[in-house]
Amino acid sequence: MRCCAHIINLIVKDGLNEIKGSVTRIRDAVKYVRSSPQREQRFKSCVEKERINHKSSLCLDVQTRWNSTFLMLNTALKFQKAFKRLEDEDPHFCLELNDIPPTTKDWDDARHFTSFLEKFYDATVHLSGSLYITSTMCFTDACAIEGFLCECAKSLDPSLSVTAMKMKSKFAKYWGKIEKVNMLLLISVVLDPHCKLRYVSFCYSELHEAATVTELTKKVREALNQIYDEYQKLEFGMCSSSNQTCVEVDQPISGASKQLMSLKSKFQKHLAQEECDGGKSEVDKYLEDACEKEGPNSHFEILNWWKVNSSRYKILSQVARDILAIPISTVASEAAFSTGGRVIDQFRSSLTPKLVECLICLQDWLRASPLSLEVEENIADIDELEQALNVVSLNVISD
């Protein structure tokens, strides 16, 4: 299964090429401010003169990661007036940028494009979680993105329309053709008691013709039945093997006892057949039942629902357990292993592997904590504290 976050990354990169020049000039301006403490202090004075009340600080992006570019642009736009004042008060600013500072058009393009990219950024964050089920979310986000791109392609703004068309063609390469859709992504939605098969039909009916939706719904139903049959064979195989084991351990059985056990076995099969509601499988019963109602503020646990209803859907609950466990993004695991460069720098190269592992785990726990630990939002306060500590240390040395 392809990583959904990487597919969104490929879709957005085609759109970023349309404002590549504007992004480069804004990136150079941010890089100039972040290059030295003196320039940062000069920029902070410009911020104060313009009376900009934002505690967030400028951040540089990683050019290969569009989401970091989105965060850089989104933050830099808050300080547009400060950059303009810095251009007037700092003569080295224009010289460093080869006399091409960000223009008003660059800022306007960045503002329009960040509002456009916000939906893709939210979808990436949504799909990259590791503390909740993500397999049921991909279908909804993909349909929402496709509908959003279709609307933007009809926009009267020519630049937005062209950008949306390019991104839509890239979207179609991975998620546009129904016959290439991974059936497990659709089955995971069907196994959500809030959605089931009716939700898949409804969402696709908003984007495709009725005949196509009917054909797709039939394929999803057949795929779910095939998986259910495989699990059913496995379940019956385990039961028969356990029965054989019990017979071997017990004492030798006479002919009458064997006949009695055969009758009991047939009776158990007869009861199981009666419990199937006239031959209906668990899939039929599950899909025929009404969808669970979802309140506006209710926190519904899908796995807990399947655990509670495991006695009713004995085999289908095992299918749900396995399919709902599929992660649809590799971002969480990649992020956990990519923090080594920030932990083991030239000043911490003597750390033991065990301590490095502790630092990585601690960072992951802090970011996943439900407590309001706003580490990123308090960078400005941390900078002020470090400057105060530096002043105190200099005074101590001079004394």
Sequence spans of domains, the chain: 4-176, 339-398
The string of pLDDT tens digits covering residues 120-175 is 888 888 888 888 888 888 888 888 888 888 888 888 878 788 888 888 888 888 88
Instruction: Tell me the pLDDT band of 321, cut-offs 50, 70 and 90.
Output: very high
Q: Give the model's pLDDT for residue 112.
A: 84
Q: What percent of the chain has pLDDT over 90?
A: 8
Residues 6+ away with beta carbon under 8 Å from 363: 339, 343
Residues 6+ away with beta carbon under 8 Å from 23: 16, 69, 73, 110
In whole angstroms, give the CA distance from residue 133 to residue 206. 25
Taking 90 as the threshold, does the pLDDT of residue 232 lie above it?
no
Better pLDDT: 175 or 29: 29
Taking 80 as the threshold, does the pLDDT of residue 31 lie above it?
yes
Q: Cβ distance 68 to 62 under 8 Å? A: yes
Better pLDDT: 116 or 247: 116
Q: Give the model's pLDDT for residue 249.
A: 41
Q: What is the mean pLDDT of the chain?
A: 78
| Kind and range of the H or E run holding 187 | helix 183-190
* Complete DSSP assignment for 60-99: ---TT-HHHHHHHHHHHGGGHHHHHHHHHH-HHHHHHTTT
DSSP-assigned letter for residue 114: H
Place of tokens 């989105």: 70
In whole angstroms, give the CA distance from residue 380 to residue 194. 43
DSSP-assigned letter for residue 130: S
Q: Which of 223-227, 264-268, 382-386, 395-399 has the highest mean pLDDT?
A: 223-227
Provide the residue type at 122 as one letter: D
Q: Give the model's pLDDT for residue 224.
A: 92
Q: Give the model's pLDDT for residue 343.
A: 47
Q: Give the model's pLDDT for residue 263.
A: 67
Taking 70 as the threshold, does the pLDDT of residue 260 lie above it?
no
For the chain, count helices (H), then strands (E). 20, 0
Taking 50 as the threshold, does the pLDDT of residue 285 lie above it?
yes
Q: Give the model's pLDDT for residue 225.
A: 92
The string of pLDDT tens digits covering residues 290-319 is 888 876 666 778 889 999 999 889 999 999
Better pLDDT: 245 or 389: 389
Over range 94-104, report the average pLDDT. 82
* CA distances for 369 relative to 121, 123, 334, angstroms: 21, 21, 19
Q: Give the model's pLDDT for residue 251.
A: 45
Give the closest residue to 80 by CA, choosing from 118, 105, 56, 107: 107
The string of pLDDT tens digits covering residues 35-72 is 888 888 888 889 888 888 877 788 888 777 778 888 88
Least confident of 107-111, 267-271, 390-394: 390-394
